[in-house]
Structure 1
């Protein structure tokens, strides 16, 4: 996949293991971003991509940031369409109770590239019935959880 990196070497998306589905994205910032509890920030990565036709990329949170600091991404997963050529930026939010510093080069999110299936929509008067019907939002129950 073709990419353009506007930060120095080392800011390319990078897979951290042979089995990783997501490539880490780094913060390409000139000054440290301070995220106070409840605050959010738009953090540039210095990366632009040219996805092949029939593919999308998703920006997803990193589990380590979430469990250690309460940092996650908003609009998750964030969708990058095949025809977008702008810089990838990540919306981070601090759900934790302490301020968090985002420094230049910090791994802030993951990029997952996946195929896209485009649906052809047909407007119908009625839809086929199923056993589930209109039931949602927990209607199938909670198995094995002590709530």
Structure 2
């Protein structure tokens, strides 16, 4: 188990918590003095009221909550949002409203999930060419959207 230091910047802040024993992400809640309404096709930065200190070699990812996406078309435009180990400011969640109706966020609403993950730094090796694969340069939907017959 990894220990992460956390500071409550606002006494009303609700600290992240795993909702179930096997949840991958912790629920992150809004810390607001007054409700914030996100109009259709707009975004808003929602404060959480806390800051974290991740160990070196780790990041925190903020991800959308599936229920908000399904029921209200609310997501995170920079998903997954990355919180670096050397960031010490308040964790904020950028919400975007893809729905037709305004969406109101109130204090304590669970607005995102946070997953802490190990990060390995890489060193790029510049070469003249890359090895060939069966896929090659195919990308961006090159396999189509229909299931293959053996999957049906």
Which interval holds the TM-score relative to the shorter structure? over 0.9
Distance 2:127 2:116 in 1: 33
What does 1:1-147 correspond to in 2, within 5 Å?
1-8=4-11, 11-144=14-147
* Structure 1 residue 93, shift from structure 2 partner: 0.7
Contact 2:13–2:50 (Cα < 8 Å) also in 1:
no
Query: How many equivalent pairs are there?
Result: 145
Contact 2:13–2:49 (Cα < 8 Å) also in 1:
no
What is the root-mean-square deviation of aligned Cα atoms in Å? 1.4
Q: Which runs of 4+ in 1 moved over 6 A?
A: none
**Cα distance per residue 1:82-118 (max 9 Å; x no partner):** 1111110011011111111100111111110000111
The two structures have a TM-score, normalised by structure 2, of 0.90
Q: Which runs of 5+ in 2 are unaligned?
A: none
**Cα distance per residue 1:23-57 (max 9 Å; x no partner):** 11111111110111111100110111110111110
